[in-house]
Structure 1
Amino acid sequence: MKDLQIETIINQNRKPIPEADQLGFGQYFTDHMFLMDYTEGQGWHDPRIVPYQPLQLDPSCMVFHYAQTVFEGMKAYLTKDEEVLLFRPDQNFKRLNNSNDRLCIPHIDEEFALEALKQLIKLDRDWIPSAPGTSLYIRPFIISTEPHLGVHPSHNYLFIIILSPVGSYYKEGLNPVKIAVEKNYVRTVVGGTGTAKTGGNYASSLKAQEESGKVGYSQVLWLDGRENKYIEEVGSMNIFFKVNGEVITPALNGSILAGITRDSIIQLLKHWNVPVTERKISMDEVIQAYRDGLLEEAFGTGTAAVISPIGEFFYQDEKMVVNNGEIGKLSKELYDTLTGIQNGIKQDPFGWSVKL
C-alpha cells in the first residue's frame, strides 16, 4: 500500500477563505479532499486528492441503513514562524484502526494515511487560520458503500479526509460551561461501541443533549449504562475532577472513548508531579466532595475544545457551582501549556508535534 501513488486533481474554482472571526466550528471546508476505495479481494486502492464536492452514493449503500462508519478528529496549527504542526496524528490513525476493528471495517495503513493527510494539508495550506484559538480541523472517516440491503459487514468502503478552518468549539470559548448529568438515557455500555469513534454513539446522545439544551446546559454528563452510578464522559469530551489536590478521571473501562487529549493531559500532570488517578468515580462521590468543599475544579478534554472548564453541574434538581463558576488555575495552566505545544509556542518535551 505504501507504494500507491496519490493522484491529485487541482481545484480550479477556489473558494473565498473566511475571516477568523467568521469561523465558528465546522461551517467551512477547504478546496480539496482525500478519497480512497476499498474492494474486497483487492484491498485499499485508488488514493486521490480531488476538489471538495458532494459524494455520489447509491441509495442502498449500507452506511445509510446499518451505520457501519467510523471517524476521527485532529487539528493542524500554524506557528508564528509559519510552520504547520500536527498534534499526535499517529495516535488518531491508530485509534481509527481500533474503531475499524469494532465495526468490522478493514484496517488502513496508518503511515500511508498520514502521508496522504500531509499532502492534502500542503495543498490547502492557505486555509490554516493564524488567529489565536483557531486551527485547521481534520476529519478522516470511513463509510460502508456496498449497495446491498442485508445485515453483514460491507464488501466496499470509502475512506475520506476533509478539512475545516475552525474557531472555538463552544460559544463560551474558555469560559466554564454548564453540564447536566444524564439520568434517563444511556449512551453505551461495556461491550458496546463506546470505545469506538462511530456515528451511532453520537446519534444516541442527541436526545439527551437536546433536552439539556432547552434548560440552558451545553452538554450532558453520561453515567454508566448498567448501574447508572459511575461517571463516564461528557458528550464530546472526557472528564476530569480536581478533588482535594488530586486529579481524578474515569478509568477506560470498555465503554469510554480513549481520548488523545485525555492521554496528553494525564502525561502533562505526571510530568508536573500533580497527583492524577484513573479509576471509577461515582456521581455520589463527586456530590460528597462538593458538599465537603473539596471539589476544586472540573474540566472536559477533547480535540475540538482542547480544555473546557466546567462551572456548573445539574443533577437531580440540584445545581453544583464549581469554583464560583470560574476557570480553575490548573485548568488554565493545562490549556495554556497544551495549546502552547500545539501552536509551537511552548517546548514539547514529549515529541508530540509533527512538522509538515
Structure 2
Amino acid sequence: MLSFELPGDATFTEQARIDEVFAEPGFGVHFTDHMAVADWSITTGWGNDRIVINQPLGLGPGSAVFHYAQEVFEGLKAYRHADGSVWLFRPEKNGERLANSARRLALPQLPVKDFLTSVRNLVTLDERWVPAGHEQSLYLRPFIVAKEDFLGVRPAQDVSYILIASPVGSYFTGGVAPVDIWVSREYSRVANGGTGHAKCGGNYAASLLPQELAYEQGCSQVLFVDNAQKRWVEELGGMNFFMVTASGQLVTPNLNGNILPGVTRDSILTIAPELGLTPVERPVELAEVTTGIADGSVTELFACGTAAVITPIGSLKDVDGTHQLEVREDSVTMALRNYLLDIQYGRRADERNWMVRVR
C-alpha cells in the first residue's frame, strides 16, 4: 500500500501571490506547489511514492507515451465550504474509472485506496490553494503515463502515476449561458470496440479538429454521433449529453462502450427522481432529438462534466440547419445544476454521503 507521506521540508508560495491567483484563477492556468508521484515497473509493481515540488517530469524522448499514446487521466475537484473545511465529491468513482481506463490502455491499475491517499494528502498539503470564491474550486488532475524509453509496440514496462492540482474559477466567466452545438457527422470521436469508455488523451485529440470546425460554424462545442451508422447520439468532445422530455423523462445515451461513464452523469441520474424526473438510459437517435425540438416533445438539452458541471444547450446545428431551444432560468437543467452545486459546496444535506472531508 502506498502512503504518499507529506514532506517535512515543504516550501510554499507566498499567500499574497495565491490571493492574486484567486482574484482571477481562470481554468487550468495556475498550479499548486506540489505534486504526488508513484512509479511502477513490471518487476517491482507500484512503489517510490512521494509528494514533491511541482516540477518537469524529465521523460526521455523515446518514452512510450510520446509515440504510442499510452496514457490515461482523471479530473475531480476539492471544494471549500463556508466554514472553511475542504471536501471531495465522490472521489472513489474517479479512482475506479482511472483503473478501468488504465486496463483498456494496457497500463497498470493503481489501487483505488492508493489513489484516494494521494488525493487526500496532496490536497491536505496544498490546502491553502483551495479557493473560497463563487464556484471556485481546486481542480485535481491525476494521470498515468508510460515512461519506458523504448520504440516498440507493446505495453510499457515502466510507468508513472502523477497528480497535479490547479485552482480554478467558474467554467463560465460571464455566468452560465446556453451554448450552441455543432453536430459532427464527418468525424467521429471513437469507434465501436475502441477507447470511448476510457478517459485517455487520444479521445480528446480526435475531437480537436471537429471542435475547430464547430467554431467556424459559430458553435462552442461539438456533438458526436456513432461511427457506424451516423444516427445515434454519443457525447460531446468532453461532456455527456442529456435531454429532457415534455413527459418528464431525463434521457441520456446508455453506456455502450463508446461513451465515458461520467461521475457527474451518474450523479444526475441518481438525483433526477427528487426533481420529479424519470431517469432513462437508452439509445438516442439524432432524428428523435431534432424532431422532438420541432414538435415540443423535447424541451431541454444539456451537457455535463466535472469542469462545467451542467451546461444548457441553446441549439443544435448541422448541415440541415439550426434546431433552436428556449432556455429558461427556471429550467430543469438549472435546477439539476443548482442541486449538485449545493451538495458540493455544503449548502444541501449530503444524504448519500457523496462528500469526503479532507480538512
TM-score (normalizing by structure 2): 0.95
State the Cα distance separating 1:243 from its structure 2 match: 1.5
**Native 8 Å contact 1:37 1:46 kept in 2:** yes
> Residue 183 of structure 1 aligns with which residue?
185
State the Cα distance separating 1:168 from its structure 2 match: 2.4
> Residue 291 of structure 1 aligns with which residue?
294
Is residue 54 of structure 1 aligned with residue 56 of structure 2? yes
Give the distance between the partners of 1:156 and 1:69, measured in 2 at CA: 12
Q: 1:320 to 1:148 in 2, by over 3 A?
A: same
Give the distance between the partners of 2:163 and 2:71, measured in 1 at CA: 13
Give the distance between the partners of 1:206 and 1:65, measured in 2 at CA: 19
Q: Deviations over 1:218-275 (max 9, x none)?
A: 1100101110110000111101101212211101011100000000000000344411
State the Cα distance separating 1:294 from its structure 2 match: 2.0
> Residue 70 of structure 1 aligns with which residue?
72
Give the counterpart letter for 1:284 in structure 2: A
> Residue 27 of structure 2 aligns with which residue?
25
Is residue 161 of structure 1 aligned with residue 163 of structure 2? yes
Among 319, 332, 352, the alignment partner of 1:350 is 352
Identity of aligned residues (%): 42
**Native 8 Å contact 1:176 1:326 kept in 2:** no
Among 240, 243, 251, the alignment partner of 1:241 is 243
State the secondary structure of the residue aligned to 2:252: strand
Give the distance between the partners of 1:185 and 1:74, measured in 2 at CA: 28
Give the counterpart letter for 2:183 in structure 1: V
State the secondary structure of the residue aligned to 2:115: helix
State the secondary structure of the residue aligned to 1:204: helix
Among 315, 318, 343, the alignment partner of 1:315 is 318
Give the distance between the partners of 1:110 and 1:199, measured in 2 at CA: 21
Give the counterpart letter for 2:317 in structure 1: F
Give the distance between the partners of 1:284 and 1:351, measured in 2 at CA: 39
Among 264, 269, 272, the alignment partner of 1:266 is 269
Is residue 6 of structure 1 aligned with residue 5 of structure 2? yes
State the Cα distance separating 1:174 from its structure 2 match: 1.4
Is residue 81 of structure 1 aligned with residue 80 of structure 2? no
Give the counterpart letter for 1:305 in structure 2: A
State the Cα distance separating 1:113 from its structure 2 match: 1.7
Give the distance between the partners of 1:57 and 1:232, measured in 2 at CA: 35
Give the distance between the partners of 1:340 and 1:276, measured in 2 at CA: 20
> Residue 202 of structure 1 aligns with which residue?
204
Is residue 224 of structure 1 aligned with residue 223 of structure 2? no
Give the counterpart letter for 1:159 in structure 2: Y
Give the distance between the partners of 1:68 and 1:47, measured in 2 at CA: 21
Gaps spanning 5+ residues in structure 1: where?
none
Give the counterpart letter for 1:191 in structure 2: G
Give the counterpart letter for 1:176 in structure 2: P
State the secondary structure of the residue aligned to 1:137: strand
**Native 8 Å contact 1:181 1:315 kept in 2:** yes
What is the RMSD computed on CA atoms of the aligned residues? 1.5
TM-score (normalizing by structure 1): 0.96
**Native 8 Å contact 2:134 2:170 kept in 1:** no
**Native 8 Å contact 2:4 2:117 kept in 1:** no
Give the distance between the partners of 1:266 and 1:343, measured in 2 at CA: 20
